[in-house]
Chain A
């Protein structure tokens, strides 16, 4: 049995500051462009630039307010709802409004909000921060057959189910006796480990439970630990209940504290995040989140973990109330190393970077263009994309929409020589480096192995690649397949993949959806199943982005430019971040917020952090619907 470890290398950002806060107020030239600029603009117009069209000119005119749906209005009838239509509810959009507008409190419909159970990942991070649980995220190979995530405290929990791409959807009830049983197992294991290790014990308990100060120490521990675990001060009742448990006699001076830890880790007030909010006279049917509630929301959104003592102190001091104070707190949080891990998790789920690990290591990977592949490249490919996207998030002035156009990547020597076919960087010893890739061959994530390999091992890669671009990068909801489907036609001798799939599309039941998929995926035909590029003149990489204005393109870089200049991609980025932040599928009430955030994103020239900032400070994030009223 081979056991190989791949720890996900964690980048220590130290005190690196994110891009400086940019104002979202636009210059006069931009407004002028919005009103009068109808001349054609190059397809690769810089999004949000004050000099060029904000959205590119492919559709024949600059638009600032994003289109109702990227391609929804096109003859192909794709999706129908554009961004967020995956939610099944977000139809249409608000009419274009003069900039700058906000989705003000008066316009806001925050939609339903649900009590949230900690996801397994959030649970792991929370017990790490609260109780010093030590684990490493990464992968290992099991029995030479498949990759398995390295164990974490939640490894035996029922897996979170993914809805809309994310593990934190709170719309469904997902709590069961299997959960309760595993919560108990971990609570007892962790509490036992904490009191058995003097260093951990002292850190968690914070004072001595032996001797005369015992009573005071127990009280101090209960209120301090309770506050961190419940993410707010304990009520008087809670405090006395936990104190009574802490004081119960046991075999060691620490027995009572051990039971408190066990109880807290199984309490629904730790496992669930409840928000009660307070009435706002301006919108009596809404509730404004209190300081502690907002601190939790922000912490799990930006850091993927519980608020720490400092953040709770800020909440107590009112430093999450009022736009300026809140903005400062959000900036401080983004300056924290935990933000990188938190946003990394968002990206990982959105882009499904771990899909490449679901293929078998050492399998007969489709390798047509003479590259080499080894299973070590699977976790490395995921890491490449995560580092690449992190760079787009955190590098000063980076435009996040380079996601689909960048001619560079962040790679190691093995990816460089096996996949990208470039000489090993001279800095090979340094590990991961930013490298320019061979000219004209590469275009952001569209040509990275994390995407090309996970889709390229399918029997018809063009279909899978088209599907990924539509669903993941453009947030389209594809038409449902017919109830009964014909088999993919057998390959006729000498028939190419294009001809074979074209025969498939002659069936009208299939063509509605497949016309959207493989003609798009064929544009990536120069990349084989392991992501290696070919110059072979016999390979055609002509593709069609059906439903888009001027849909035809040749090759990945042209496709990347087309996507980059499309409002659909930029709206999709916003929708995905919003879906993750709100932990539910989006609905018609979210259009106002989405459009507001889209504009903030555009105005900041594609700054992902600006988008996150605007979201964290938005009314949609700080208010919830009063469910007692809504369900009456």
Chain B
């Protein structure tokens, strides 16, 4: 149930004469007393996009949490890269990860529950993530149901008995079923804009591809009929994957703007971890602006990355070391455990900087009465409230974008230890998806 009673201007005008004397803005409020910026949200209003956005290894509380609450708060060192967008997001503190699992490693718990809020298991997350819930409900309205991206590799296991997927994925289709991320920018370019140098396909090619996929689907249907229930889930997942793929292949881009049709210039060589994160965020913004998809996620990389002393396994290390004017710098994970504050700040600001670029790109495109960013809801954060202590309470979380005018940004709101899943529920509800329950939560977060 959508808890928000939206009253359009037309409804208002058709209503009782008594209301005509009242200032419109007083009336067009949701049931929490907040009004809508754009009161005429009819069929033409831009869609609300939902993203989840993850940076690894948590923060140090002293450099993340603002001292003041409300709109007049001072940006902390890690939030400073977002200064330009201070009115476009809110900092939400005092929200906790789900800790009901028998697994307790903070990186595993914090990442495995990050965007789904359910207790994790050895084999994966405990439920679908909010981006995938949205994709399932409304993803068929765009060419791609969702876009799941990560700039780091899939992890091998941190604990022998625990799936490596738990720590290197935040998007989950269902319990223990990951939505695998695209981790290579070349694959992403091909997906969005076609294979490099590809020419227009002739009629034969299009027709034959259709015949092939028809046969593939009928093979899936006949196999599904003879397997047991657990296996049927897999074959049916394959069948719906093929259908989704068909939809993206056979529904040509609707937006003919060159940036939507052919995209930005492709890098000549594979990118390093820093450039890859930047380019992926740029492409994510383009995909949202061009309405190729409305839902997605991005992971800088997983926590506990580069877990060796050399710290050179990722370009992020050298980028931060260079910024700090040092020749060697431990990996971010080790900086947190060693209490290496310059390192903690360096990595943290680099990651928040990636996020700033995404916001900048979304804000640069006008849409409706505002910008694309105004029509987004971005759930951004990290797996640990305190990277050095592996603490999964008081998570560093940001809600960016105004959700089409359904949330009030520009504030620091402090909560007293509520489940982060309530924020996830709020995001789904504010996007108008009619979700009443998420991760067993039925109460959305108050005061956002």
The CA of A487 and the CA of B204, in the complex, are separated in Å by 64
Q: Is the CB of A482 within 8 A of B208?
A: no
Q: Is the CB of A175 within 8 A of B229?
A: no
Cβ–Cβ < 8 Å partners of B437 in chain A: none
Q: Is the CB of B390 within 8 A of A481?
A: yes
Instruction: Confirm or deny: B1 has a beta carbon within 8 angstroms of a beta carbon on chain A.
Output: no
| Residues in B277-332 with C-beta less than 8 Å from chain A | 307-315, 328, 330
Cβ–Cβ < 8 Å partners of B181 in chain A: 158, 178
Q: Is the CB of A271 within 8 A of B238?
A: yes
Q: Is the CB of B178 within 8 A of A161?
A: yes
The CA of A366 and the CA of B311, in the complex, are separated in Å by 12
The CA of A145 and the CA of B211, in the complex, are separated in Å by 45
Instruction: Confirm or deny: B407 has a beta carbon within 8 angstroms of a beta carbon on chain A.
Output: no
Cβ–Cβ < 8 Å partners of B227 in chain A: 115, 274
Q: Is the CB of A158 within 8 A of B154?
A: yes
Partner of B154, one of A161, A173, A352: A161
Q: Is the CB of A177 within 8 A of B245?
A: yes
The CA of A480 and the CA of B122, in the complex, are separated in Å by 12
Cβ–Cβ < 8 Å partners of B182 in chain A: 178
| Residues in B222-244 with C-beta less than 8 Å from chain A | 222-223, 226-231, 233-235, 237-239, 241-242, 244
Q: Is the CB of B270 within 8 A of A268?
A: no
Known: A146-B313, A173-B237, A175-B237. A483 touches B180 (CB 8 A): no
Q: Is the CB of B178 within 8 A of A478?
A: no
Instruction: Confirm or deny: B353 has a beta carbon within 8 angstroms of a beta carbon on chain A.
Output: no
Instruction: Confirm or deny: B443 has a beta carbon within 8 angstroms of a beta carbon on chain A.
Output: no
The CA of A488 and the CA of B390, in the complex, are separated in Å by 12
Known: A86-B161, A241-B218, A263-B216. A457 touches B310 (CB 8 A): yes
For A435-449 the 0/1 string (1 means CB < 8 A from B) is: 000000000000000
| Residues in A112-162 with C-beta less than 8 Å from chain B | 112, 114-115, 117, 142-143, 145-146, 156, 158-159, 161-162
How many whole Å from A249's CB to the nearest CB in chain B?
Answer: 9
Instruction: Confirm or deny: B254 has a beta carbon within 8 angstroms of a beta carbon on chain A.
Output: no
Known: A165-B160, A481-B390. A176 touches B180 (CB 8 A): yes
Stretch at the interface among A6-14, A209-217, A356-364, A401-409: A356-364
Cβ–Cβ < 8 Å partners of A485 in chain B: 106, 389-390
Instruction: Confirm or deny: A333 has a beta carbon within 8 angstroms of a beta carbon on chain B.
Output: no
Stretch at the interface among A68-76, A179-187, A531-539: A179-187
Partner of A161, one of B104, B165, B184, B230: B165
| Residues in B162-177 with C-beta less than 8 Å from chain A | 162-165, 168, 173-174, 176-177
The CA of A485 and the CA of B106, in the complex, are separated in Å by 9
Q: How many residues of A contact B (CB 8 A)?
A: 90
Q: Is the CB of B104 within 8 A of A364?
A: no
The CA of A603 and the CA of B57, in the complex, are separated in Å by 49
Instruction: Confirm or deny: A242 has a beta carbon within 8 angstroms of a beta carbon on chain B.
Output: yes
Q: Is the CB of A458 within 8 A of B307?
A: yes
The CA of A352 and the CA of B155, in the complex, are separated in Å by 13
Q: Is the CB of A143 within 8 A of B272?
A: yes
Cβ–Cβ < 8 Å partners of B122 in chain A: 88, 163, 585
In the complex, residue of chain A having the shortest beta-carbon distance to the beta carbon of B177 = A173
Q: Is the CB of B154 within 8 A of A477?
A: no
The CA of A187 and the CA of B219, in the complex, are separated in Å by 16
How many whole Å from B131's CB to the nearest CB in chain A?
Answer: 13
Instruction: Confirm or deny: B102 has a beta carbon within 8 angstroms of a beta carbon on chain A.
Output: yes
Instruction: Confirm or deny: B30 has a beta carbon within 8 angstroms of a beta carbon on chain A.
Output: no
In the complex, residue of chain B having the shortest beta-carbon distance to the beta carbon of A156 = B187
Q: Is the CB of B312 within 8 A of A360?
A: yes
Known: A88-B161, A172-B123. A156 touches B212 (CB 8 A): no
Q: Is the CB of B163 within 8 A of A180?
A: no
How many whole Å from A529's CB to the nearest CB in chain B?
Answer: 8
The CA of A529 and the CA of B269, in the complex, are separated in Å by 33
Cβ–Cβ < 8 Å partners of A171 in chain B: 123, 176
The CA of A7 and the CA of B183, in the complex, are separated in Å by 24
Cβ–Cβ < 8 Å partners of B312 in chain A: 145, 360, 362-363
In the complex, residue of chain B having the shortest beta-carbon distance to the beta carbon of A161 = B165
Instruction: Confirm or deny: A374 has a beta carbon within 8 angstroms of a beta carbon on chain B.
Output: no
Q: Is the CB of B313 within 8 A of A360?
A: yes
Instruction: Confirm or deny: A197 has a beta carbon within 8 angstroms of a beta carbon on chain B.
Output: no
Q: Is the CB of B180 within 8 A of A179?
A: yes
Q: Is the CB of A180 within 8 A of B238?
A: yes
Instruction: Confirm or deny: B141 has a beta carbon within 8 angstroms of a beta carbon on chain A.
Output: no
Cβ–Cβ < 8 Å partners of B161 in chain A: 86-88, 163-164, 477, 585
Instruction: Confirm or deny: A310 has a beta carbon within 8 angstroms of a beta carbon on chain B.
Output: no
How many whole Å from B358's CB to the nearest CB in chain A?
Answer: 21
Partner of A628, one of B184, B228, B234: B228
| Residues in B97-122 with C-beta less than 8 Å from chain A | 99, 102-106, 109, 122
In the complex, residue of chain A having the shortest beta-carbon distance to the beta carbon of B123 = A172
Cβ–Cβ < 8 Å partners of A114 in chain B: 230-231, 234
Instruction: Confirm or deny: A486 has a beta carbon within 8 angstroms of a beta carbon on chain B.
Output: yes
Partner of A175, one of B163, B176, B212, B234: B234
| Residues in B382-427 with C-beta less than 8 Å from chain A | 386, 388-392
| Residues in B188-233 with C-beta less than 8 Å from chain A | 190-191, 204, 208-209, 211-213, 215-216, 218-220, 222-223, 226-231, 233
Instruction: Confirm or deny: A365 has a beta carbon within 8 angstroms of a beta carbon on chain B.
Output: yes
Q: Is the CB of B219 within 8 A of A176?
A: no
How many whole Å from A122's CB to the nearest CB in chain B?
Answer: 16
Partner of B176, one of A173, A241, A358: A173
In the complex, residue of chain B having the shortest beta-carbon distance to the beta carbon of A165 = B160
Residue among A1, A161, A360, A488 facing the most chain B CB atoms (10 A cut-off): A161
Instruction: Confirm or deny: A23 has a beta carbon within 8 angstroms of a beta carbon on chain B.
Output: no
Cβ–Cβ < 8 Å partners of B242 in chain A: 180, 266
Cβ–Cβ < 8 Å partners of A164 in chain B: 160-161
In the complex, residue of chain B having the shortest beta-carbon distance to the beta carbon of A472 = B160
The CA of A156 and the CA of B187, in the complex, are separated in Å by 7
In the complex, residue of chain A having the shortest beta-carbon distance to the beta carbon of B241 = A180
Q: Is the CB of A162 within 8 A of B223?
A: no
Instruction: Confirm or deny: B136 has a beta carbon within 8 angstroms of a beta carbon on chain A.
Output: no
Q: Is the CB of B309 within 8 A of A241?
A: no
Cβ–Cβ < 8 Å partners of B145 in chain A: 177
In the complex, residue of chain B having the shortest beta-carbon distance to the beta carbon of A235 = B222
The CA of A478 and the CA of B182, in the complex, are separated in Å by 32
Q: Is the CB of A241 within 8 A of B389?
A: no
How many whole Å from A363's CB to the nearest CB in chain B?
Answer: 3
Cβ–Cβ < 8 Å partners of B164 in chain A: 161-163
Cβ–Cβ < 8 Å partners of A250 in chain B: 204, 208
Partner of B337, one of A173, A457, A472, A488: A488
Q: Is the CB of A245 within 8 A of B154?
A: no
Q: Is the CB of B226 within 8 A of A276?
A: yes
The CA of A65 and the CA of B287, in the complex, are separated in Å by 61
How many whole Å from A355's CB to the nearest CB in chain B?
Answer: 8
In the complex, residue of chain A having the shortest beta-carbon distance to the beta carbon of B109 = A483
Instruction: Confirm or deny: A101 has a beta carbon within 8 angstroms of a beta carbon on chain B.
Output: no
Cβ–Cβ < 8 Å partners of B99 in chain A: 483
Instruction: Confirm or deny: A471 has a beta carbon within 8 angstroms of a beta carbon on chain B.
Output: yes
Instruction: Confirm or deny: B46 has a beta carbon within 8 angstroms of a beta carbon on chain A.
Output: no
Partner of B123, one of A163, A188, A358: A163
The CA of A485 and the CA of B336, in the complex, are separated in Å by 12
| Residues in B366-392 with C-beta less than 8 Å from chain A | 386, 388-392
Cβ–Cβ < 8 Å partners of B211 in chain A: 245, 248, 259
The CA of A175 and the CA of B212, in the complex, are separated in Å by 19
Cβ–Cβ < 8 Å partners of A366 in chain B: 309
The CA of A174 and the CA of B178, in the complex, are separated in Å by 7
Instruction: Confirm or deny: A251 has a beta carbon within 8 angstroms of a beta carbon on chain B.
Output: yes
Partner of A477, one of B160, B179, B330: B160
Q: Could you give 30 example pairs across A and B, Cβ below 8 Å?
A: A112-B230, A158-B180, A159-B183, A162-B163, A165-B160, A172-B177, A173-B173, A176-B178, A180-B244, A238-B219, A248-B208, A248-B211, A259-B212, A266-B212, A266-B213, A268-B220, A272-B235, A358-B313, A360-B310, A363-B310, A363-B312, A366-B309, A457-B308, A459-B337, A471-B159, A481-B390, A483-B99, A483-B106, A484-B391, A628-B228
Known: A364-B309, A481-B105, A485-B390. 7 other contacts (CB 8 A): A145-B314, A162-B157, A171-B123, A187-B212, A241-B215, A459-B338, A478-B159
